[in-house]
């Protein structure tokens, strides 16, 4: 789970190059921006590990739905305005 997934899961925000969220009534810094990459803080890494495992368990607990069987296609009506197909043998090449 990356930092942005964890932020979305916890309802956190990005402020001053820090990813933070309110956990149990306390503001916790989850990660800090270092160059172009996010680096977890120790608290953030612990929360990411806990929520990553919880996300896997939630996904496994969801019931899987079977696909509906395909239905046969109804008859298709053609309209007389449709242009007739042109065969290549009927076309003379231009030289």
Q: Rounded CA gap, 30 and 48, in Å?
A: 9
Per-residue pLDDT at 65: 78
Residue 23: alpha-carbon gap to chain centroid: 25
Distance CA 55, CA 10 (A): 12
- For 27-52, give one letter per residue: b (16+ CB within 10 A) or e: ebebbbeeeeebebbeebeebbeebe
CA distances 89 to 84, 85, 93, 95, Å, are 14, 12, 10, 16
Please determine, for residue 90, whether its predicted confidence score (pLDDT) is greater than 70: no
Looking at residue 17, what is its pLDDT? 93
What pLDDT does residue 13 have?
93
**Are the beta carbons of 9 and 51 closer than 8 angstroms?**
yes
pLDDT in tens, 14-73: 999 999 999 999 999 999 999 999 999 999 999 888 888 777 777 777 777 778 887 877
């Amino acid at each position: 789970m990356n930092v942005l997934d964890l932020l979305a899961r916890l309802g956190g925000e990005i402020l001053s190059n820090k990813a933070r969220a309110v956990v149990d009534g306390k503001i916790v810094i989850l990660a800090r921006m270092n160059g172009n990459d996010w680096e977890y803080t120790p608290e953030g890494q612990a929360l990411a590990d806990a929520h990553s495992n919880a996300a896997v368990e939630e996904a496994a607990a969801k019931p899987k739905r079977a696909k509906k069987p395909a239905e046969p296609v109804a008859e298709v009506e053609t309209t007389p305005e449709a242009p007739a197909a042109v065969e290549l043998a009927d076309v003379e090449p231009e030289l």
